[in-house]
Amino acid sequence: YVPDTGPRVRVNQVGYLANGPKQATVVTEATAALPWQLKNAAGTVVASGSTTPRGVDATSGQNVQTADFSQYKTQGKGFTLTADGETSVPFDIGANAAYEQLRTDALSWFYVQRSGIEISDAIAPGYGRKAGHLGVAPNQGDTDVPCQAGVCDYRLDVRGGWYDAGDHGKYVVNGGIAVAQLMSTFERSKVAASGKPGQLADGTLRLPEHGNQVPDVLDEARWELEFLLRMQVPAGQPLAGMVHHKIHDQNWTGLPLDPAADPQPRELHPPSTAATLNLAATAAQGARLFAPYDKAFAAKLLTAAKTAYAAALAHPAIYALGSDSTGGGAYDDADVTDEFYWAAAELYISTGEKTYRDAVTASQWHTADIFKPEGFSWGYTAALGRLDLATVPNGLPDRDRVRKSVVDGAKGYLAAVRANPYGIAYAPGTGKYEWGSNSAVLNNLVVIATAYDLTGSGEFRDGVVSGMDYILGRNALNQSYVTGFGERNSHNQHTRIYGHQLNAALPNPPSGSLAGGPNSYLQDPLAQKLLTGCAPQFCYVDDINSYSTNEIAINWNSTLSWVASFLADQGEG
């Protein structure tokens, strides 16, 4: 299998900020510098220079050179870059409007992913569908869901929330990081110097809750928070206050499958300490963010957060099992000390109470070097707490050290961006890319961006701008991983809801859908068939069957939303 990678000059296919860094990567056999030319849409050469040889890149196995045209700052559409006899796909200079669009699309993506509500075709043209999983036949849930055999003898109404990914499962630990990143997209806009909260105000996204005076991104977050609250074990039951790890089908289903047509029995899986702490952390964050808009909801969130945290302390080691992966993903995690830290941090920021502050400062994660090359993720959440402790006002005695730790972490990721000829902010020690690697790249960009918010130092802002190039097409596959953005974009992502590749009557995923991205471990049959022996960047195929390289997921679009919002806020054309 030889993928079509198009022209050998690789660019950010969406475009470059007028006053930002601008680099292209040239795949070539030449080892000496080559001339490059930048042409405008009329084909006139507007800038030229010489490439810098970068040798053989380990992430792709390719000999590459970089062309730097940062000095050209005139806005326009349809530029191309030529080198070594090859011409790139067209791109814009002055991409701020595109990043505004990306922010809107990446965030509006969550509405279409909602469970338990009819998706309006007027709001999401082409994506309207019946409400999924409200107990209307052939659905069997989620309004009255039993536990798996032996787990509990009550039923819960756990309607709502978002479908996790390409499946119809709903998993608390992944809902947790995703909703946290949506809330942080909003919270950053309030606390960062370059933040523009007006851009996220009521009426800015494609969702139904317009006119309620609540910022749309918070409306979307609330849809998930309400679901997370429903997953909490009721008072009076064994393990009261704990949170069920997940709810999903009894057996895996095929695709495509409209949520409303899913006939599988739905089941609650056992409570876990990780899920409980995810509710504690996100409900605590929600409590402070919803306070200006809905005091009663904010109070409900805070009570749930405190109850959950106390339950987790009482049951600190109830782990989800890796073997529990029939009909849904396992999302197993046998170390929840990082989730304890995240939850304590959010509770402390929201309440200022000593008990949570003491838990923060006593945690091993408070001083640990948490910014590892592979980045944070749904199972490695200490960074979510650390970033908020650094950026959101609080009375922590060692706050300066906390802020410095984020800046130091960002320097490591910035070094990765600079060292890699494609500007990849992700350099795991194994040399292999993990499932959902695009989210790791973006989460590392969140850390770099946060360092910019903390210091105002332009090198961090430039690092985010450059690091985004990889996601939008400056890579070995010449692939923009975001549907609808860039000339050669991913559009056959693995999902049961859309599935155009399988049934032409169905749409592709909506604009703004991020693909999981290259996965060295080839964890699905198609990837195994096509990609064996791949260098990391080549371990990807834009095919609906490749769930381990090409799924969509809420925790991936959440970090895309955060970074797109940061970039849109930078202005500068």
Task: Give the residue numbers marked as catalytic.
Answer: 167, 494, 542, 551
In 3D, which of 480, 487, 475, 485 has the Cα closest to residue 89?
487
Considering only 23-31, 79-87, 89-97, 326-334, which stretch makes contact with ligand 9MR by CB under 6 A? Answer: 326-334
Q: How far apart are CA 548 and CA 186, in angstroms?
A: 30
Burial 288-316 (b: 16+ CB within 10 A, else e): bbbeebbeebbebbbebbbbbbebbbeee
Considering only 6-14, 19-27, 323-331, 357-365, which stretch makes contact with ligand 9MR by CB under 6 A? Answer: 323-331
Contacting ligand 9MR (CB under 6 A), which of 102, 165, 207, 406? 165
Residue 159, classed as helix, strand or coil, is: coil
What backbone torsions phi and psi does residue 293 show, to the nearest 5 degrees?
-110, -35
Please report, to the nearest 10 degrees, the dihedral formed by the alpha carbons of residues 379, 384, 385, 391 taken in order: 170
Closer to ligand 9MR by Cβ: residue 81 or 106: 106
> Cβ-closest residue to ligand 9MR?
329
Q: How far apart are CA 41 and CA 78, in angstroms?
A: 5
Query: Does residue 240 touch ligand 9MR according to CB under 6 A?
Result: no
Query: Does residue 541 touch ligand 9MR according to CB under 6 A?
Result: no
Closer to ligand 9MR by Cβ: residue 462 or 524: 524
In the complex, least distance from residue 328 CB atom to ligand 9MR, rounded to whole angstroms: 6
Query: Does residue 329 touch ligand 9MR according to CB under 6 A?
Result: yes
DSSP-assigned letters across all residues of 108-141:
HHHHHTBSSSPBPTTTSTT--BPPPSSS-TT-B-
Helix (H) or strand (E) holding 458: helix 458-471
Alpha-carbon distances of 214 from 220, 346, 520, rounded to whole Å = 10, 21, 42
Query: Does residue 261 touch ligand 9MR according to CB under 6 A?
Result: no
Considering only 96-104, 410-418, 546-554, 558-566, which stretch makes contact with ligand 9MR by CB under 6 A? Answer: 546-554
Query: Does residue 57 touch ligand 9MR according to CB under 6 A?
Result: no
Asked if residue 498 lies in contact with residue 515, where contact means CB atoms within 8 angstroms, the answer is: no
Query: Does residue 436 touch ligand 9MR according to CB under 6 A?
Result: yes
Query: Does residue 324 touch ligand 9MR according to CB under 6 A?
Result: no
In the complex, least distance from residue 279 CB atom to ligand 9MR, rounded to whole angstroms: 19
Query: Does residue 551 touch ligand 9MR according to CB under 6 A?
Result: yes
In 3D, which of 462, 477, 472 has the Cα closest to residue 441?
472
Query: Does residue 164 touch ligand 9MR according to CB under 6 A?
Result: yes
Contacting ligand 9MR (CB under 6 A), which of 167, 219, 220, 333? 167
Query: Does residue 145 touch ligand 9MR according to CB under 6 A?
Result: no
Query: Does residue 330 touch ligand 9MR according to CB under 6 A?
Result: yes
Closer to ligand 9MR by Cβ: residue 20 or 169: 169
Quote the tokens at residue 547: 């769930």
In the complex, least distance from residue 556 CB atom to ligand 9MR, rounded to whole angstroms: 8
Q: Which residue has the tokens 């970074």?
A: 563
Count how many residues are written for the chain: 573
Quote the tokens at residue 196: 């523009």
Q: How far apart are CA 75 and CA 93, in angstroms?
A: 5
Considering only 183-191, 264-272, 328-336, 526-534, which stretch makes contact with ligand 9MR by CB under 6 A? Answer: 328-336
Considering only 11-19, 102-110, 161-169, 347-355, which stretch makes contact with ligand 9MR by CB under 6 A? Answer: 161-169
Q: What is the C-alpha radius of gyration for the chain, rounded to an integer number of angstroms?
A: 23
Closer to ligand 9MR by Cβ: residue 216 or 551: 551
Q: How many residues bind ligand 9MR (CB under 6 A)?
A: 13
DSSP-assigned letters across all residues of 165-211:
BSSS-EEHHHHHHHHHHHHHHHHHHHHSTT--GGGGSTTSSSSS-TT
Residues that bind ligand 9MR (CB under 6 A): 164-165, 167, 169, 329-331, 435-436, 516, 547, 551, 553
